[in-house]
Amino acid sequence: MTASLIAPWLSVLVPVYNVRDYLTECIESVLAQAPDDGGVEVLLLDDCSTDDSSAVIAQLQSRWPGRLSVLRHARNSGLSAARNTLMDAAKGRYLWFLDSDDKLLPGAIDSLRTIVHRHAPDAVLCDFQVWRERPRLKHRLRGEAHRRTFDGSPRVLQQGTADLLCGLLATGQLHAWSKITRRELWADGVRFPVGRYFEDMATMPLALLRASSYYYAPETWVAYRQRGGSILSTMTLPKAFDQSAALLALRQALEGRAELGHHGLQFALAHQCARNLLGAMRFVRQASAPDAPDATEPELAAAAVRIRADFAAASPLAAEALQQAYWRRGWWLRWLKFRKGYAYRSA
């Protein structure tokens, strides 16, 4: 059987938009460790880039003939739409979303292949490192060389959706590129929300809620490039609302399921909802400054009410119950931050 007839075990899905300075390094990091045997397909989608990204893609296709499949949108549609299109076109049993300004670290695909062939989990979780052009001592002291994405048992096949979600929510690392998932987890219309920010947080828990088994590899497989213009560095009121509402769909999906009675999951989900509230309220507080005239006082007051309502709808614990849980755990600084953040602009 020729390589072209072998169904790939893995699809690496790379959305491309205005990343001419980073794309070559990203694709090199994948193809350098993906054997040319048809087992790993690499799909790129050009989301109507306005820089020279399209020319870079053409150069990469010439450099690696037949190794890259390239899709194009007729008009710019955003990251969620690009990932959804790539997912629909992918043929692999497992899907790995990779942002085009990041890269895979050496040995990542081999390590994943070993896990998949030995255990065949529904989901594989990996760690990452923060990739800076000029790393400083303070970045190393923050542990950016190795960021954990999961709080749970490593290097063993696990069952239990509640424990999976609990371990993910405990770290708050809900990005798509540190989770490799079976295609079946995306059936029945589970897709990234088009036109919304914090799309990973809104989507990955829904897909992983379907996982019967998972495997956590506490190894850095992805280098996450830290550069200006991130969502958090350029917050707006719509972004703040997307952050505060990011876990509403998960809370709704958990209704009537046994996992919602898991005390660890209740706390982990409430804790992440509190993080979202604090992040959104931080923008409201900054927008209240005299030199921030973009929003009126009534708009900011209404925004605070909406953010609190999102917390109440998404969290399985009421605000007072979460504060008590923080206090019992000795998380006094977290208790104080949440107490102040939740009460901001309240009557």
Last residue of a domain, one of 191, 209, 227: 227
209 and 332 share one domain: no
Greatest Cα-to-Cα distance within the chain, rounded to the nearest angstrom: 71
What string of pLDDT tens digits covers the 347 residues of the chain? Answer: 344 557 899 999 999 999 999 999 999 999 999 999 989 999 999 999 999 999 999 999 999 999 999 999 999 999 999 999 999 999 999 999 999 999 999 999 999 999 999 999 999 999 999 988 776 667 676 778 999 999 999 999 999 999 999 999 999 999 999 999 999 999 999 999 999 999 999 999 999 999 999 999 999 999 999 876 555 557 888 999 999 999 999 999 999 999 999 999 999 999 999 999 999 999 998 887 765 556 788 888 999 999 999 999 999 999 999 999 999 999 999 999 999 999 998 86
d(CA 10, CA 302): 46
Place of tokens 């000795």: 330
Same domain as 301, residue 215:
no
Q: Are 173 and 148 in contact (CB under 8 A)?
A: yes
User: Which 3 state secondary structure label does DSSP give 237?
Assistant: helix
- Kindly state whether residues 120 and 59 are assigned to the same domain: yes
Specify whether 43 is located in the same domain as 144: yes
Q: Are residues 175 and 256 in the same domain?
A: no
Co-location of 204 and 247 in the same domain: no
Domain boundary among 212, 227, 242: 227
At residue 290, the pLDDT reads 64
Shortest CA distance to 269 belongs to which of 127, 162, 197? 162
* pLDDT for the residue 181: 98
75 alpha-carbon distance from chain centroid: 24
pLDDT value, residue 3: 46
Residues 6+ away with beta carbon under 8 Å from 320: none
Q: What secondary structure letter does DSSP report for 123?
A: E
Q: Can you tell me the distance from the alpha carbon of 347 to that of 337, in angstroms, rounded to the nearest whole number? A: 18
User: Could you tell me if 218 and 243 lie in one domain?
Assistant: no
Residues 217 and 320 both lie in one domain: no
SS (H, E, C) 34-45: CCCCCCEEEEEE
Whole domain around residue 284: which residue ranges?
Answer: 233-343
Q: Cα–Cα distance between 66 and 92 in angstroms, integer?
A: 16
Structural domain ending residue among the three candidates 206, 227, 248: 227
Three-state DSSP state, 250:
helix
Domain count, the chain: 2
Q: Are residues 256 and 163 in the same domain?
A: no
Same domain, 182 and 289: no
- 324 and 257 within one domain: yes
Q: Are residues 203 and 273 in the same domain?
A: no
The CATH code of the domain that includes 215 is: 3.90.550.10
What distances in angstroms separate CA 282 from CA 84, 132, 230, 274, one per listed residue? Answer: 31, 25, 16, 12
Stated as kind and residue range, the H or E segment containing 46 is strand 40-46
The total number of residues shown for the chain amounts to: 347
- What per-residue confidence (pLDDT) applies to 1? 39
User: In 3D, which of 112, 79, 78, 110 has the Cα closest to residue 94?
Assistant: 112
